[in-house]
């Protein structure tokens, strides 16, 4: 797609509602799936991610709603076999048949009536693509979790679907297996330019796979947009907490001038960018990777408008980096590398200076000041 081209909407759902026992569990006024892009659905358990995926894949009949696929109206139930044969879905569990890996991968093609010769020609390529060629003759019952999920993914991709729906496909895998498989899937999706909708509760997965992100809560899409936009400009406190903004501080604007305002938060004052009036209530969101730690008190010359001394309460290793929780009068979470931990001799109980720029604070207005 060239810059300026209008994105092609492959699937559009409108007025989508799913009720269970009289309770509305999914309520989506409109959702557009753009061709060639990956949309990540994130949200807590029970947010409606799986229900939305099942409905979009025409595996669950919605209480109401309209779908159009490539501009064509489709039956929003299980009746539209033609549509179901143009999309694919991978579930959390691999759900393989009691057959060999080859026969499992060939299942979708056999269902479509593809001949033996064609299957023999096509399937090996996909076994190779997903790194399971050496397991072709093995029983699906004898696969590890990662191998089984690779088989499940190959079974979905071999039918060359126009959209792949992925329902938390890595959540039951151990972290190293998940990491490798995620990398492979990312590469395959990019190489095959597959349109995908993937649900996950892991923000890292969403960041790696997705072009756009939708945050769901209690059956609704709370925010949808390009990944960077959702991550950096969460629409509300719920989205902020869910997309990894670990510090969300409720506050009230004290004063404002030249596009910079000062807000009082519990235990201190924060400067942020925005035209807000004194008295307005705000949520100040600070991403942990935007905060710098220093052992020099006071800190040397810096453009950071916010600097707070704080005591390290807890240091938690998170793989490639560490999560440091500071008590600055309010809780502030910071991500630092292992090298920084060593060079600054950071340890629990030590006092350090935390600083971040006014532009690093994402501000969510919470309401007008009382008159």
Give the three-class secondary structure for 117. Answer: helix
Return all residues near 142 (Cβ < 8 A) that are at least 6 apart: none
As measured in angstroms, the least distance from the Cβ of 227 to another protein is 26
Query: Cα-flanking dihedrals φ and ψ of residue 240, to 5°?
Result: -55, -50
For another protein, the closer CB: 43 or 108: 108
Binding-residue pattern over the window 104 to 143 for another protein, x denoting contact by CB under 8 A = ---xx--xx--------------------------xxx--
Q: Which stretch binds another protein (CB under 8 A): 81-89, 176-184, 270-278, 353-361?
A: 81-89
CA dihedral 288, 294, 297, 301 (to 10 degrees): -90
User: Quick check: 84 binds another protein (CB under 8 A)?
Assistant: yes
User: Quick check: 48 binds another protein (CB under 8 A)?
Assistant: no
Binding-residue pattern over the window 141 to 170 for another protein, x denoting contact by CB under 8 A = x-------------xx--x-----x-----
Interacting positions 172-211 with another protein (CB under 8 A): none
User: Quick check: 20 binds another protein (CB under 8 A)?
Assistant: no
In the chain, which ranges are continuous DSSP H helix?
Answer: 49-56, 81-84, 101-111, 116-129, 145-157, 175-192, 203-209, 227-232, 237-242, 338-343
As measured in angstroms, the least distance from the Cβ of 286 to another protein is 40
Buried b (16+ CB within 10 A) or exposed e, 136-173: beeebeebebbbbbbbbbbbbbbbebbbbbbbbbbeeb
For another protein, the closer CB: 99 or 207: 99
Query: Cα-flanking dihedrals φ and ψ of residue 314, to 5°?
Result: -155, 140
User: Quick check: 89 binds another protein (CB under 8 A)?
Assistant: yes
Burial class (CB in 10 A: 0-12, 13-18, 19+), 209: buried
For another protein, the closer CB: 87 or 361: 87
For another protein, the closer CB: 30 or 95: 95
CA distance 167 to 59: 13
For another protein, the closer CB: 103 or 246: 103
Where along the sequence are the contacts to another protein (CB under 8 A)? 54, 57, 59, 78, 81, 84-85, 87-89, 91, 93, 95, 97-100, 107-108, 111-112, 139-141, 155-156, 159, 165
């Amino acid at each position: 797609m060239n810059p300026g081209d209008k994105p092609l909407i492959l699937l559009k759902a409108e007025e989508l509602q799913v009720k269970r026992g009289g309770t509305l569990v999914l309520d989506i006024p409109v959702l557009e799936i753009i061709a060639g892009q990956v949309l990540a659905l994130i949200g807590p358990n029970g947010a409606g991610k799986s229900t939305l995926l099942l409905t979009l894949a025409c595996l669950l009949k919605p209480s109401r709603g309209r779908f159009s696929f490539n501009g064509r109206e489709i039956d929003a139930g299980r009746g539209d076999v033609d549509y179901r044969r143009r999309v694919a879905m991978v579930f959390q569990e691999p759900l393989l048949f009691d057959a060999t890996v080859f026969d499992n991968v060939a299942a979708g093609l056999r269902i479509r009536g593809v001949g033996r010769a064609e299957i023999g020609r096509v399937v090996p390529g996909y076994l190779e693509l997903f790194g399971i060629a050496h397991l072709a003759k093995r029983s699906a019952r004898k696969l590890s979790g990662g191998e089984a999920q690779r088989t499940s993914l190959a079974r979905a991709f071999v039918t060359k679907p126009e959209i792949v729906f992925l329902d938390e496909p890595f959540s039951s895998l151990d972290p190293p297996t998940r990491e490798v498989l995620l990398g492979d899937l990312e590469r395959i999706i990019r190489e095959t330019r597959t349109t995908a909708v993937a649900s996950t509760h892991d923000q890292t997965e969403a960041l790696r796979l997705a072009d756009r992100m939708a945050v769901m809560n209690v059956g609704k899409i709370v925010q949808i947009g390009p990944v960077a936009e959702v991550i950096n400009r969460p629409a509300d406190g719920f989205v902020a907490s869910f997309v990894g903004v670990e510090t969300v501080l409720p506050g009230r604007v004290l004063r404002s001038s030249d596009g910079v305002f000062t807000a009082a938060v519990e235990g201190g004052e924060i400067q942020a960018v925005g035209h807000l009036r004194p008295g307005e209530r705000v949520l100040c969101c600070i991403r942990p990777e935007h905060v710098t730690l220093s052992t020099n008190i006071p800190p040397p010359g810096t453009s950071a408008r916010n600097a707070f001394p704080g005591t390290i309460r807890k240091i938690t290793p998170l793989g490639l980096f560490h999560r440091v929780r500071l008590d600055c009068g309010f809780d502030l979470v910071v991500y630092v590398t292992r090298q920084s931990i060593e060079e600054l001799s950071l340890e629990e109980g030590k006092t350090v200076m935390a600083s971040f720029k006014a532009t690093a604070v994402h501000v969510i207005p919470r309401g007008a000041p009382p008159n």
